[in-house]
């Protein structure tokens, strides 16, 4: 096996260990003690370990990459726009398909987990801030960046990392949403050479996950979808021209 591929595999497995080991232990203890707060703190600890080790040891670089200094704030602003629009488009699409009735058990389980998670301060910090940062470290900073450094073509590397990212979030609706998200932020990472834009989008995406667009008329969903997709297309065109 090529040395660069092997290094990427080892780093990603190390990331998985740091991410899952505290969570598994915390979940077991939390279930025994009937205390969801323990699970939330275990998840938060797992993410903090990842962030401190991977940024501290410089396994993943926290820099603006190819983004020029004068373009930092415009790029950050455009990234925030992409994040908000993507959330609206994704939620409108799910509401338009009436996913709650198509996959009631999956939606109920996901909703129940989210309510339990965000009921505690540790869960809020994990789900809204540190979880997204840790996941970007693993899937873009380690896996995708490692694939870029091999002979793997950029589009294939982005697709592979997005597929793994989708599987990481489960099978079903979440898989497709996460995979599309992975393709989007994967392109951003490839184009900018920076993990910062993908972190911003991921944090905003998770923080706005509580948005509920169900119960709207079909025309409202179509307007949001069309306008949102046009804004996303313009945003990526702008980034391609300016960065």
Tell me how many domains the chain contains: 1
Quote the pLDDT of residue 100.
66
- Contact between 49 and 126 (Cβ < 8 Å): no
pTM over 0.85: yes
Q: Distances in Å between the alpha carbon of 35 and those of 29, 101, 123, 178?
A: 8, 31, 13, 29
d(CA 109, CA 176): 17
> How far are the Cα atoms of 2, 22, 47, 146, 221 from residue 154, in angstroms, in the given order?
18, 33, 27, 11, 33
What whole-number distance in Å separates Cα of residue 143 and Cα of residue 132? 15
* Burial class for 210, CB neighbours closer than 10 Å (0-12, 13-18, 19+): exposed
Cite the DSSP H helix spans in the chain.
3-33, 36-56, 72-97, 99-102, 104-117, 121-125, 131-136, 145-148, 154-168, 173-192, 196-207, 218-242
Q: How far apart are CA 36 and CA 117, in angstroms?
A: 8
Please report which confidence band the pLDDT of residue 179 belongs to, taking 50, 70 and 90 as the band edges: very high
Backbone angles phi, psi at 76, to 5 degrees: -60, -45
Is 90 exceeded by the pLDDT of residue 18? yes
pLDDT at residue 37 in the model: 80
* pLDDT: which is higher, 172 or 33: 33
pLDDT digits (tens, 9 = 90+) for 193-229: 999 999 999 999 999 887 778 788 889 999 999 999 9
Average pLDDT value over all residues in the chain: 89
The reported pLDDT for the residue numbered 124 is: 87
The pLDDT of residue 173 is above 90: no
CB of 75 closer than 8 Å to CB of 197: yes
Give me the percent of the chain exceeding a pLDDT of 70. 90
Q: Specify the pLDDT at position 166.
A: 95
**Interval 75-134: pLDDT, tens:** 999 999 999 999 999 989 888 887 666 665 655 566 566 666 666 788 889 989 999 999
In angstroms, the Cα distances linking 217 to 1, 88, 211, 213, 223 are 54, 15, 16, 10, 10
Lowest mean per-residue pLDDT among 26-30, 114-118, 158-162, 165-169: 114-118
What's the pLDDT score for residue 199?
A: 97
**Following DSSP, what letter does each residue of 105-147 receive, concatenated?**
HHHHHHHHHHHHHTTSHHHHHIIIIIHHHHHHIIIIIIIIHHH
Range of the domain at 116: 3-242
Residue 218, pLDDT score: 87
């Amino acid at each position: 096996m090529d040395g660069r591929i092997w290094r990427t595999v080892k780093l990603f497995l190390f990331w998985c260990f740091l991410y899952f080991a505290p969570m598994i232990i915390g979940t077991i203890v939390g279930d025994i003690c009937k205390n969801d707060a323990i699970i939330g703190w275990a998840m938060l600890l797992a993410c903090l370990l990842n962030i401190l080790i991977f940024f501290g040891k410089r396994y993943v670089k926290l820099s603006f990459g190819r983004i020029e200094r004068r373009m930092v704030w415009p790029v950050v602003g455009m990234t925030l726009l992409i994040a908000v629009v993507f959330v609206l488009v994704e939620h409108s699409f799910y509401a338009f398909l009436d996913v709650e009735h198509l996959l009631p058990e999956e939606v109920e389980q996901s909703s129940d987990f989210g309510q339990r998670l965000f009921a505690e301060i540790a869960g809020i910090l994990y789900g809204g801030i540190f979880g997204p940062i840790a996941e970007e470290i693993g899937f873009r900073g380690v896996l995708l960046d490692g694939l870029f450094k091999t002979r793997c073509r950029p589009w294939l590397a982005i697709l592979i990392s997005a597929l793994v990212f989708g599987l990481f979030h489960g099978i079903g609706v979440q898989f497709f949403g996460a995979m599309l998200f992975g393709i989007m932020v994967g392109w951003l990472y490839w184009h900018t050479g920076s993990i910062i834009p993908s972190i911003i989008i991921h944090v905003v995406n998770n923080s706005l996950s509580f948005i509920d667009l169900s119960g709207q008329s079909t025309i409202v969903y179509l307007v949001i979808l069309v306008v949102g997709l046009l804004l996303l297309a313009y945003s990526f065109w702008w980034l391609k021209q300016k960065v």
